[in-house]
Structure 1
Amino acid sequence: MHSDETGPASEFWDGLYSERDQVWSGKPNAVLVREIETVAPGRALDLGCGEGADALWLAERGWTVTGVDISAVALDRAARHSREAGVSERTIWLHRDLADWEPDGEYDLVSAQFLHSPLELPRERVLAAAARVVAPGGLLLVVGHAEFPPWAQHQHGHEHTELPTAEELAFALGLTSDAWAVEAGTSEGREATGPDGQKAILRDAVLKARRTA
């Protein structure tokens, strides 16, 4: 299913996932559902797949999905969920540190949903490498925080993290060239509830780009 990946980052994320039987909601990210629901299935790459909710949603709709994450604990859960959902034949789980991993092959969809880390992560370089494996006609969908929620701004060093807009990220990744057509690049507002019940309106930077050549 996956290879061994050890190091401080892997230990950190394994520790986080080991704290609870389930960290995330188990539901696919809303922007992924909205933007991809009507897209014909093909090959997909899910970066930072966690417990696998996005990958499973795609696989249930006919996609062949490769999910990549640094946490073996999260990947074990994702593999179990894929077996329970009957889509294990359409899912591949890779244990990799995205900071030094180069994807290969071609994908009709590369998805990176909230690929943020309190540890050092060369996010722009990771996303640039991901963009290179988008097949002609394929999509790159990157959704990130435009700002961190108030309950997390001063935790885990997030207050020092720069959060680019979708437009800034598109420029940094070279998606403004003739080889790409940016189909969505907006910051959206949504209501969210923190662990202590605090509510806030959060903005997400949504970048959707299609490779044209």
Structure 2
Amino acid sequence: MSTADRKRWDARFADLEAVEPGPPTALAGREDLVPTTGRALDVACGRGAVAVWLARRGLDVEAVDVSPVALAAGRALAGEVHWVEADLDDGLPVDGPYDVVVCQRFRDPALYPALVDALAPGGLLVVTVLTGEGAFRAPPGELLAAFGHLDVLHHDAGDREEGLVARRPLTPAAASPGPRRDPGR
């Protein structure tokens, strides 16, 4: 990401009011799927509403964003989250495994395999992307195509947003996005 992009995000976050911690939109009504112990990762966390919500559930949370302004707002909400300033164009700057990985309204298909790799066996993945026209918007069905090899617990594709909640299988081979062999052959 360029310096100009980082400054644009800083300016956007600086002009926003404080956030109230809460779950990612794809989890609406399914919050009980999130464990109350373990590790969690919030990718492109912005001002930290989801990261703080996860921490208040009892998880050890790492939250990553490119904007130091956004991360400062997150720190003001909760110091117990480990806030990481990083450009996700360079990949995930943290190491799993995580029991929960959240990526809300940040789209980078090149990062999708790393999100799966960061999950512990049985770990929960929660991804939401904006849909429609534009470079940062997903075409219909992108999340199912990218994460359909996981155990999909919920998928919702609306006019403006697509959300997916999935669990990484307990067996490593089942979590691979590669082609599956028919065990009957």
Structure 2 unmatched runs, 5+: 172-185
Instruction: Tell me the SS of whatever aligns to 1:15.
Output: helix
Give the fraction of aligned pairs with identical amino acids, expressed as a percent.
32
Deviation at 1:61, TM superposition (A): 1.1
Q: Say whether the 8 Å CA contact 1:9–1:70 is kept in structure 2.
A: no
- Match of 1:13? 9
Match of 2:161 among 204, 208, 212: 204
Match of 1:37 among 29, 32, 36: 32
The answer to whether residue 89 in structure 2 is matched with residue 99 in structure 1 is yes
TM-score (norm 2): 0.78
Residue type at the aligned position of 1:130: L
Instruction: Tell me the SS of whatever aligns to 2:30.
Output: helix
What is the rounded CA distance, in whole Å, between the counterparts of 2:34 and 2:137 in structure 1? 32
Deviation at 1:162, TM superposition (A): 4.5
Instruction: Tell me the SS of whatever aligns to 1:80.
Output: helix
What is the rounded CA distance, in whole Å, between the counterparts of 2:76 and 2:156 in structure 1? 35
RMSD (Å), alpha carbons: 2.4
What is the rounded CA distance, in whole Å, between the counterparts of 2:25 and 2:138 in structure 1? 20
What is the aligned length? 167
- Match of 2:148? 176
Q: 1:163 to 1:58 in 2, by over 3 A?
A: same
What is the rounded CA distance, in whole Å, between the counterparts of 1:78 and 1:161 in structure 2? 24
Q: 1:107 to 1:205 in 2, by over 3 A?
A: same
- Match of 2:100? 109
Instruction: Tell me the SS of whatever aligns to 1:46.
Output: strand
Q: 1:162 to 1:81 in 2, by over 3 A?
A: closer
TM-score (norm 1): 0.69
Runs of 4+ in 1 over 4 A off after TM superposition: none
Pairing 1:54-93 to 2, within 5 Å after superposition: 54-82=50-78, 88-89=79-80, 91-93=81-83
Instruction: Tell me the SS of whatever aligns to 1:34.
Output: coil
Instruction: Tell me the SS of whatever aligns to 1:73.
Output: helix
Instruction: Tell me the SS of whatever aligns to 1:144.
Output: strand
The answer to whether residue 176 in structure 2 is matched with residue 186 in structure 1 is no
